[in-house]
Structure 1
Amino acid sequence: MAEAGGDGLDYRTLFTALPAPCIVLDRDLVIVAVNDAYLEVTGRPATDLLGRNFFEANPPDPGDPASDGAEVQRGSLEAVLFSGRKSMLLMQRYALPRRDRTGRFEPRWWNVINQPVTGPDGRVELIMHRVEDVTEFVRTERRVADGSTDEAPRAEIFSRAEELQRANLSLQESALRTKDVALALQRAMLATPALSEHPEVAVCYRPALEGMNACGDWYDVVDLPDGRLALSVGDVVGHGVEAASVMGMLRSALSAAIRVADGPSGALEALGLYARAQEGAMATTTFACQIYPFSRLLMYSNAGHPPPVLMHADGSHELLDQATDPPLGVRVEHVPRPQATVDYREGDTLVMYTDGLIERRGEDIDVGLNRLVRAVRELRELPPDELAEGLLRAMADPSGQRDDISLLATRL
């Protein structure tokens, strides 16, 4: 097996497990590894492939300008990078340079699987491009279609395979359009105009690897009189556009309530009453706080949400868990929400988040919370935007991000 560069990645085990013809592409679609089976089926030396862009190494057949094979392949690879899901192409036509070095091309047909390989942060880092040569099958079926043989049923199978290929491509294009719309909706609903006035506050949103890229997670920043600042995060049960719609209503309602209520607890009381009247809003968790910069006081209330981390500049910390109540709308009768206050010092850091940041399958949530505390302590001297991005990397689930994440980091 041949590899490009010295990045230290060991592909041997991977290629042993997949003895079919394979190449590995990075995020820029540059070929970084190729196995012997691929070199054999293409008849090309590794030097023709390694370190080159996939489409530069596999140029279109100049004798067939109408072929859309390159566009189809590019769409498949980009879909893998965007969605994190594998893509299959049936009977994809390629034009390979002839082994006689005459400059002519030889048409070949391959079944292709583009398989994502994710990094520790859940992002697609590499693509395994695996092929199965079906050239002889295609040529046989075309002879059948031309009447050269009497194997008509096999020609019908070939025709059906081409129909499935077109349907597969159509579904991929539709999925990409749907994800684009859902992600645009999520970003619009999380728009926070007050952020432009507060460089000490940084926010991040990361969709789960699977799903619609729209969810019920939110963050918000609201300016209040006397220099006070209100911050909130929340998480609606469920995923998809419906959860995002409920999130938008609750976020707007809390933004209004926190402007007029007597502290965060009063705002969450009002939000809880509102949630009881909204389908899909029950059991939403949220944390709301107000920051008083002149008195160095932080007042908060928590409706069933994971506790934020208040990290002091000296590395000591506090979990804001002294005013925790059940999620919105779950009580049979209305009960006033608790409220707590904590002093902070200049240079302290507040990290608020949704549970996707700390939860991992089969692991106690306290393990994830302790991991977060350690990460915040290590990164506490970074600017808020770098701190937020660093936390996403440090907290990434090696098995892939299964839940959405909203994160808000504030330098106090």
Structure 2
Amino acid sequence: MADAAIDYAAVFKALPGMVALLTPELVFADANEEFLTMSGRNREQVVGRYLFDVFPDNPSDPSASGMRNLAASLTRVVDTGERDAMALQRYDVESVQRPGEWEERYWSPVNAPIVGPEGNVVLLIHRVEEVTELIRARDRAPADRARVMEAELYTRARELQEVNERLREAHAHEREIALALQKAMLPAPNPIGHHRAAVRYQPATDALNVCGDWYDLVDLPGVDRIGVAVGDVVGHGLPAASVMGKLRSALSAACLVADGPAQALDALGLYSRSVDGAENTTAVQTCVDWDTHTITYSSAGHLPPALLSRDGRVVLLDQATDPPLGARPEHTPRPEATLGFTEGDTLVLYTDGLIERRDEDIDHSIVRLADALTRHRRSAPELLADALLLDLLPSGLATDDTALVIVRL
């Protein structure tokens, strides 16, 4: 049996409970036989369709909340990457044979993530326990038996609530530790020579999503040169914060002795092979030279920095981009590019939390950044940093960290 291949498709089909697979957009990817049977649907009526098109709330019941509660739970799983057990739900189901007729049903759902190699949620497991008959039996039972069953259900709900509360407390504690670790390892926003710079680190608002974003500013050997970098470690929590500290320190040291940003990222890439969790980290390193009025840069899979001119034009530093750290099995020298700047221009480096949105193409996200820079082009670095965070960060829960560096040239 150890050598026999397991037919996981057959296992999924025969699971003795109601189980469905959903995409992060809440579209049915698959459903097992028990799910289809108990919900009164066939495969063609489910797979490939949006969850709440298949199972909407009863429009004649103004108190119906099943769709809203389930959507909130699934969204939490997508955003946090953590399992979520829901309280008992009443969720009426419309009859396929008799449209317009709704059957009162009671469900106990559990939603869990399937995480891909890059750390993002690629599928959702939606498991449902059908408890309608238990509720109906309670309603038909004598008063004393009904009270016992109700007490059992109440106790079960309270136990689930207590477990969720303990998990939230544990994650909140982890978030505090990770934030403290990040603050200790990120450099203080001290002046860089006589040049004006502003830095911002905005953690994710969700307790589970403290990430590994970093920034760095360092004086380089020479008359008037500085190194500016940002980076983003894949993953969340304390492991990502720890990896971030190692890579930031390594890159900061490498740029002091390397012959340019590309060579510094080469050294960082070799070092990252010995650091667990450093795979697929993105970073961009720049060297600003006021003697030659040039910016030399190299990127390891990171979003391009932006150069904002005094007249509002925005140029992306996107001519020296290579894959993230550890993405190639063999070491290859990284590319490097140089462009000139005029005194009074502004250099902006950032991580993806500032602009990326799940429902938006990245090119459109960068256009939003460029528009915001143009609108606020006359602002000093500190005011510009605040304006970008206000304009570009989502108004609700931010599910990713944001690091931002602005240097007036």
Q: How far apart, CA to CA, are the structure 1 residues paired with 2:331 and 2:180?
A: 37
1:154–1:252 CA distance, 2 compared to 1 (3 A): same
Aligned alpha-carbon RMSD (Å): 3.3
Aligned partner of 2:247 in structure 1 is 250
Q: How far apart, CA to CA, are the structure 1 residues paired with 2:305 and 2:334?
A: 18
Aligned partner of 2:355 in structure 1 is 358
User: In the alignment, is residue 216 of structure 1 matched against residue 179 of structure 2?
Assistant: no
Please tell me whether the aligned partners of residues 186 and 214 of structure 1 are also in contact (alpha carbons under 8 angstroms): no
Matched residue of 2:235: which SS? strand
Q: How does 1:38-117 map to 2 (within 5 A)?
A: none
1:399–1:298 CA distance, 2 compared to 1 (3 A): same
Tell me the TM-score normalised to structure 1 length: 0.59
Please tell me whether the aligned partners of residues 268 and 288 of structure 1 are also in contact (alpha carbons under 8 angstroms): yes
Aligned partner of 2:389 in structure 1 is 392
Q: How far apart, CA to CA, are the structure 1 residues paired with 2:165 and 2:360?
A: 38
Give the letter for the 1:233 counterpart.
Answer: V
Matched residue of 1:209: which SS? coil
TM-aligned CA deviation for residue 332 of structure 1 = 2.9
Deviations 1:149-173 (A, max 9, x none): 9966666666676666666655544
Please tell me whether the aligned partners of residues 232 and 282 of structure 2 are also in contact (alpha carbons under 8 angstroms): yes
Give the letter for the 2:282 counterpart.
Answer: T
Please tell me whether the aligned partners of residues 251 and 265 of structure 2 are also in contact (alpha carbons under 8 angstroms): yes
Aligned partner of 1:281 in structure 2 is 278
Q: How does 1:152-163 map to 2 (within 5 A)?
A: none
1:407–1:159 CA distance, 2 compared to 1 (3 A): same
Matched residue of 2:287: which SS? strand
Give the letter for the 1:368 counterpart.
Answer: S
Q: How does 1:338-377 map to 2 (within 5 A)?
A: 338-377=335-374
Q: How does 1:133-212 map to 2 (within 5 A)?
A: 170-192=166-188, 194-195=190-191, 200-212=196-208
Aligned partner of 1:382 in structure 2 is 379
Please tell me whether the aligned partners of residues 206 and 397 of structure 2 are also in contact (alpha carbons under 8 angstroms): no
Aligned partner of 2:302 in structure 1 is 305
* Gap regions ≥5 residues in structure 1: 1-17, 21-82, 84-89, 91-148
TM-aligned CA deviation for residue 203 of structure 1 = 1.1
Deviations 1:299-351 (A, max 9, x none): 11111111111010011221111111222222233222221111111111111
Please tell me whether the aligned partners of residues 192 and 217 of structure 2 are also in contact (alpha carbons under 8 angstroms): no
User: In the alignment, is residue 317 of structure 1 matched against residue 314 of structure 2?
Assistant: yes
Tell me which moved more, 166-175 or 401-410: 166-175
Q: How far apart, CA to CA, are the structure 2 residues paired with 1:171 and 1:331?
A: 38
Give the letter for the 1:284 counterpart.
Answer: T
Please tell me whether the aligned partners of residues 182 and 212 of structure 1 are also in contact (alpha carbons under 8 angstroms): no
Q: How far apart, CA to CA, are the structure 1 residues paired with 2:287 and 2:387?
A: 25
TM-aligned CA deviation for residue 397 of structure 1 = 3.1
Matched residue of 1:345: which SS? coil
Please tell me whether the aligned partners of residues 265 and 338 of structure 1 are also in contact (alpha carbons under 8 angstroms): yes
Please tell me whether the aligned partners of residues 300 and 322 of structure 2 are also in contact (alpha carbons under 8 angstroms): yes
Give the letter for the 2:212 counterpart.
Answer: G
Q: How far apart, CA to CA, are the structure 2 residues paired with 1:400 and 1:162?
A: 27
Matched residue of 1:241: which SS? helix
Tell me which moved more, 187-196 or 355-364: 187-196
Please tell me whether the aligned partners of residues 229 and 286 of structure 2 are also in contact (alpha carbons under 8 angstroms): yes
* Gap regions ≥5 residues in structure 2: 1-60, 64-79, 81-86, 88-143
1:152–1:298 CA distance, 2 compared to 1 (3 A): closer
Aligned partner of 1:240 in structure 2 is 237
Please tell me whether the aligned partners of residues 232 and 289 of structure 1 are also in contact (alpha carbons under 8 angstroms): yes
Please tell me whether the aligned partners of residues 182 and 213 of structure 1 are also in contact (alpha carbons under 8 angstroms): no
Matched residue of 1:182: which SS? helix
1:327–1:178 CA distance, 2 compared to 1 (3 A): closer
Matched residue of 1:331: which SS? coil
What percent identity do the matched residue pairs reach?
52
Please tell me whether the aligned partners of residues 192 and 226 of structure 2 are also in contact (alpha carbons under 8 angstroms): no
